[in-house]
Amino acid sequence: MSTTTILRAFIIMGIATFSLHATSYDAVFTGFNERIQFDKITPDYIDQTKKQAMKELTANLEKIYKIPASKRTFENTVRAFDSSYGDFGKIYGMIYLMNVAHPDEKTRSSANEAVIEFGKFDNELSLNEDLYRSFKEYSKSAEAKSLKGFKEKYLRESIRDFERNGFALSKEGRSKLKEINDRISLLSNMFSKNIADYKDELIVTEAEVEGLDDAYKDARRQEDGTYKIDLSYPSYRPFMRLSKSDEARKKLYMKYTNRASDKNLVILEKLILNRTELAELLGYKTFAEYRLVTRMAKNPKTVWDFENGLIDKVQEKGKSDYEEVLQVKRNLTGNDTVRVVNSWEYGYYSNILKRDKYKVDSEKVKEYFEINNVMDGLFSITQSLFGLQYKEVKNPSVWHEDVRLFEVFDNGKLIGRFYLDLYPRDNKYRHAACFGFQKGRLTSEGYQVPTATLECNFPQATDSSPALMSHGQVNTFFHEFGHVLHTLLTQSELDGFSGTSVSRDFVEAPSQIFENWTWDYPSLKMFAKHYETGEVLPKDLYDKMMAAKNVGSGVGTLAQIFYGTIDMTIHDKYQPHETRTTTDIVKELQNKILLTPFVEGTHFQAAFGHLTGYAASYYGYLWSKVYAQDMFSVFEKEGILNPDVGKRYRKIILARGADQEAIELVKEFLGRSPNPRAFYKSLGLPEEAVKEVNKKAGL
């Protein structure tokens, strides 16, 4: 999805809104700000609604095109486009969600076909001469030249994006660009679908699950006494951390790092080729150069300076982390000459390090994080911080029986809705993400209530065991809920600037900041309670967790740099026809950046889903974390549970969406220019590194 319009509609987790008419939509969208009837969605409904959404948007845009140049206003041209596209975007968003989450194969298939058609339709829209002409005509008016604030920003960025996306080309060039964009949309969809559809598992013996708890084994035991370990997070991660069988862990690691490689290695090469062609056609040297123009970083050099500067600062901590884990391996194997910890061993020995040296038993910690208690704590904290009330809807209309619906109120007024789809199942989205499929915006009927869903893969309770979360999963829950809040607490008038429609290298900051609440003891006491006794997480166990918090922070940060560098390398320093392959790139960078050596026969990049939506933008996870930690320093100073700070953060950062530049919002909240000191401190880096400002990154 390469066009500006689709990025505005679908940035990470945000898609648009829909104003209702007397149409076939009514079976699911029953009225303005009414609850969506997901249980009415069928393959036929998706097919009909897809066609109607495109037809209706086309008709609405025709009305805009026919307005005489002298009669154009912000309302009848710019806002009319934003509203019409928002209507279309809600349908797009609902169908995309069904594509990744609906349990029925026929419904998913119908949704997948619709997503492909929507992508092609949107590519046509991005090159629509009449739409471009309409905006250009309005931009020459006296009213347009006097615009201020978010209106001026929206008009300026819209015209900029039209022109950088093809209107500097000849008609023949635009036709070629559309063909490239269509191929990119199709290939991106295939890449993501192959990851979601991929299935494999490892059958292991009783001896090979030694180290795992009874609940884990009960959920995976087969009739013949063996165990089936699939590749979902709740299966893979505990096994890699706890199984005493080095051989079994290696086998599972090989399967995990080859997900979708049978199809996606070829698709990735084609994606890179088409992105390169797109960039060159538009006059850019690389796809990264093209993509970064609209990001905070602005150009590849800034990103490379940022990544390389981080390597310099983090490498020493990473080596220290690695040496600690290596010593554990030496002690357990009785071999002092061992020099390497392999990728399938690192989590296992790291867990032993935390358990034995830092006295943090991850399995014991899990006993204090039963999923319903965690949810209650998350809800209590965010309701108090932001002055909200959440109310669960009983017997909601949903796409799966596990899905729950909550409505969000501010002083008794409904301001948003969110769905929780927390547990793994076949053919469901494999990771954890927020899909904001209905964005807030001002309409003639009032303010459109934004709606989001969390798609996660957390442990699920069984008849014999509760759903206990690792502390890392608790972090993930808080992180993704930060995206929900960013979606729901918007007050932007325009769909294109609503909620998470901010620069891609800032969008993670409002979610990353919330991970900090899972490390604060007064915060944890609100929900970290033993699943059997109700005992609050003991202070001495918390102190041990804190002492071990930055164990591995250097290695973890190097891993994030590694992912971002893979992304930047294939989009800025790689040509698909050269002799080296994407696997060669992964091997080269892993052996250069990481301390665990590359494992021959693995193809991590084939299931690196961020290479579609986050192409040339993965660096944003660390980039935005600099801002997240800096903003959190205000909470640290004034009170992590201080509602006054929370409401100020809500008003400045969450409510404004993309109405202003992200850097200006951050400066206003901080009361100063941002710097990376809090970020370095959060990694446990030495004091001299904490004090150093990364001037190369422009921070």
- Is the pLDDT at 697 greater than 60? The verdict is no
Under a CB-based contact definition with an 8 Å cutoff, are residues 629 and 677 in contact?
no
The percent of residues above 90 in pLDDT, for the chain, comes to 87
Parallel, antiparallel or unpaired: strands 227-230 and 201-204 = antiparallel
- Is the pLDDT at 423 greater than 80? The verdict is yes
pLDDT band at residue 576 under the 50/70/90 scheme = confident
User: How far is it, in rounded angstroms, from Cα 641 to Cα 636?
Assistant: 9
Q: Does 300-363+551-697 match 366-547 in CATH topology?
A: no
- Is the pLDDT at 19 greater than 90? The verdict is no
Backbone angles phi, psi at 578, to 5 degrees: -75, 170
Q: Report angle CA 383, 388, 392 to the nearest 5 degrees.
A: 85
Question: What is residue 637's predicted lDDT score, i.e. its pLDDT?
Answer: 96
pLDDT band at residue 692 under the 50/70/90 scheme = low
* The dihedral formed by the CA atoms of 648, 654, 655 and 656, expressed in degrees to the nearest 10: 110
Half-sphere exposure for 616 (CA within 13 Å, toward CB): 27
> Residue 191: CB partners within 8 Å, gap ≥ 6?
260, 264, 267, 268, 271, 609, 611, 612
Under DSSP, the state recorded for 131 is H
pLDDT, tens digit (0-9, with 9 covering 90-100), for 628-637 = 999 999 999 9
* The dihedral formed by the CA atoms of 54, 55, 59 and 64, expressed in degrees to the nearest 10: 10
* The dihedral formed by the CA atoms of 591, 597, 602 and 603, expressed in degrees to the nearest 10: -30
Burial pattern 357-368, b for ≥16 Cβ within 10 A else e, equals ebebebbebbbb
Q: By mean pLDDT, which of 14-18, 217-221, 440-444, 686-690 is the weakest?
A: 14-18
pLDDT band at residue 685 under the 50/70/90 scheme = confident
Question: What is residue 102's predicted lDDT score, i.e. its pLDDT?
Answer: 97
Helix or strand (DSSP H, E) at 397: none
Under a CB-based contact definition with an 8 Å cutoff, are residues 504 and 647 in contact?
no
CATH number of 4-168: 1.20.1050.40
Under a CB-based contact definition with an 8 Å cutoff, are residues 268 and 192 in contact?
no
Beta bridge partners of 106: none
Question: What is residue 144's predicted lDDT score, i.e. its pLDDT?
Answer: 98
- Is the pLDDT at 690 greater than 80? The verdict is no
Question: What is residue 127's predicted lDDT score, i.e. its pLDDT?
Answer: 86
* Per-domain boundaries in the chain: 4-168, 199-256, 300-363+551-697, 366-547
Q: By mean pLDDT, which of 9-13, 204-208, 282-286 is the weakest?
A: 9-13
Q: Which residue has the tokens 């954890």?
A: 432
Helix or strand (DSSP H, E) at 609: none
User: How far is it, in rounded angstroms, from Cα 27 to Cα 31?
Assistant: 10
pLDDT, tens digit (0-9, with 9 covering 90-100), for 145-168 = 999 999 999 999 999 998 888 887
Mean pLDDT of 595-602: 97
Question: What is residue 9's predicted lDDT score, i.e. its pLDDT?
Answer: 35
Question: What is residue 463's predicted lDDT score, i.e. its pLDDT?
Answer: 86
Hey, what are 409's tokens? 């109120």
Architecture in CATH of 366-547: 3-Layer(aba) Sandwich (3.40)
Question: Which residue from 491, 513, 466, 503 is spatially nearest to 634, judged by alpha carbons?
Answer: 513
User: How far is it, in rounded angstroms, from Cα 64 to Cα 72?
Assistant: 9
pLDDT, tens digit (0-9, with 9 covering 90-100), for 450-496 = 999 999 999 999 888 899 999 999 999 999 999 999 999 999 999 99
Mean pLDDT of 530-552: 95
Hey, what are 650's tokens? 């809500």
Under a CB-based contact definition with an 8 Å cutoff, are residues 476 and 434 in contact?
no
pLDDT, tens digit (0-9, with 9 covering 90-100), for 277-323 = 999 999 999 999 999 999 999 999 999 999 999 998 899 999 999 99
For the chain, give the mean pLDDT. 92
Decide: helix, strand or coil at residue 369: strand
- Is the pLDDT at 689 greater than 70? The verdict is no
Question: What is residue 11's predicted lDDT score, i.e. its pLDDT?
Answer: 31
Catalytic residues: 480
Distances (CA, A) of 328 to 342, 343, 346, 354: 13, 15, 10, 10
Mean pLDDT of 332-361: 96
User: How far is it, in rounded angstroms, from Cα 154 to Cα 659?
Assistant: 8
- Is the pLDDT at 618 greater than 70? The verdict is yes
User: How far is it, in rounded angstroms, from Cα 283 to Cα 291?
Assistant: 12
Q: How far apart are the first and last CA of the chain?
A: 30
Question: What is residue 14's predicted lDDT score, i.e. its pLDDT?
Answer: 30
> Residue 193: CB partners within 8 Å, gap ≥ 6?
112
Pick the CATH number of 300-363+551-697 from 1.10.1370.10, 1.10.10.10, 3.40.190.10, 1.20.5.510: 1.10.1370.10
Hey, what are 70's tokens? 């002298």
User: How far is it, in rounded angstroms, from Cα 510 to Cα 637?
Assistant: 18
